[in-house]
Amino acid sequence: MIYLDNNATTQIDPEVLAVMLPFLTDNFANASSTHAFGLGANDAVKNARQQVADLIGSQPHEIVFTSGATEAINLAIKGVAENYSSIGKHIITVQTEHSAVLDVCKYLETKGFDITFLPVQSDGMIDLAVFKASLRPDTILVSVMLVNNELGTIQPIKEIAKLTHEVGALFMTDGTQAVGKLPINVDELDIDLMTMSAHKFYGTKGVGALFVRQRRNRLIKLGALLHGGGHEGGKRSGTLNVVGIVSMGKAAELCQQKMKVDTQSIGALRDELEKALLQIPDTSINGNTVHRLYNTTNIKFKGCDSDALIMGLQDIAVSNGSACTSASIDPSHVLMALGMTETEAFSCIRFSFGRFNKAEEIPVVVEAVRKVVESLRAWN
């Protein structure tokens, strides 16, 4: 199997697996227990919290561990809605956000909140003038993802955060596809809330985190999504997933060490594949090709059904959108937001690379895609 669906999930790095294993066997204590065994587990959690904080330039106490990015998104948006509704009930997000953000915002609409779903331009980028015009005195939160999961588009969140703070609102970004892949400093970007998930950067599934700014100039207050034992500073009750948290910390540490090399090697593979696939007639890249994550390309193959193309690539793992919406029979909401027809949206494939892809995979993938595309077009 050639795996080119790293935006859906990544392989656990062997070094991450090595640090996880003791916490599945010998070091199995509850991190909230006060005996020596529990204190050892608690020390491992503290270390992981520092490792994650170091990756994004935050303080350790600003990291709240969750079960993943979806829970972190729910905690952040619903928490702001609950605690800041006396100031206003207007929230701004973007039509191309992950369904976790969009669905939470649609839920809040049923609770009396006014949600602005910003359009994007044909390349997936936000028009800053349109965004600025949408800001209001009663805006309490702006949520714009740093990197789009389907296109790899990188939004100008520093500029967006600045405009957001000028009206006194909070700025949140879904950093799930960016953390561990791009250099991120939450202070330089002036981020108030940021979500992340370990399995997107070579950790295990079932663990993520929310960065919550806790500084004197901006002390973000969130209501708890889960109540119980008051874990994670009262923001997220529940027995800590020590083995998952340890994996996330180690994965964060490795990303800091390997990011520069990963950027160059993974980017070179993506560019090589993209160049070869674009030699196939009637193919084109979706989204902005300048402000884009180095590991992702989304390509339209005119006249080919993406599901049929995926099925034809039997030993190659690719996708036609977010794995979280794979059960939907509707076209990608991201591609539709670019102005595509349904037929066009159903003819696009996302290729996303990771640390463990190899150069020798590229010609195999190119030849396989070429054959399937020619076969599908012959039937039309």
Judge whether 181 and 129 are in contact, CB under 8 Å.
no
Domain hosting 296: range is 2-8+259-379
Report the CATH number at residue 293: 3.90.1150.10
Query: pLDDT category, 326, cuts 50, 70, 90?
Result: low
Same domain, 245 and 266: no
Q: How big is the chain, counted in residues?
A: 380
Last residue of a domain, one of 203, 228, 253: 253
255 carries an active-site annotation: no
- Which residue is catalytic, options 105, 255, 324, 348? 324
- Res 328: pLDDT: 60
pTM: 0.95
pLDDT tens readout for residues 292-322: 999 999 999 999 999 999 999 989 999 987 6
Same domain, 299 and 238: no
Same domain, 221 and 86: yes
Give the type of residue at 328: S
Q: What's the token pair of residue 230?
A: 């008051």
pLDDT tens readout for residues 208-241: 999 999 987 789 999 888 888 888 887 887 889 9
Q: For residues 34 and 156, which has the higher predicted lDDT (pLDDT)? A: 156
Average pLDDT over residues 165-186: 98
Q: Please state, in angstroms and rounded to a whole number, the distance separating the CA atoms of residues 22 and 222.
A: 34
The rounded mean pLDDT for the chain is 95
Q: In the chain, how many domains are there?
A: 2
Same domain, 335 and 204: no
What Å distances lie between residue 234 and 46, 222, 238, 287, CA to CA?
16, 9, 10, 40
- Res 145: pLDDT: 98
Report the CATH number at residue 110: 3.40.640.10
Same domain, 171 and 312: no
Query: pLDDT category, 36, cuts 50, 70, 90?
Result: confident
Q: Is 66 helix (H, G, I), strand (E, B) or coil?
A: strand
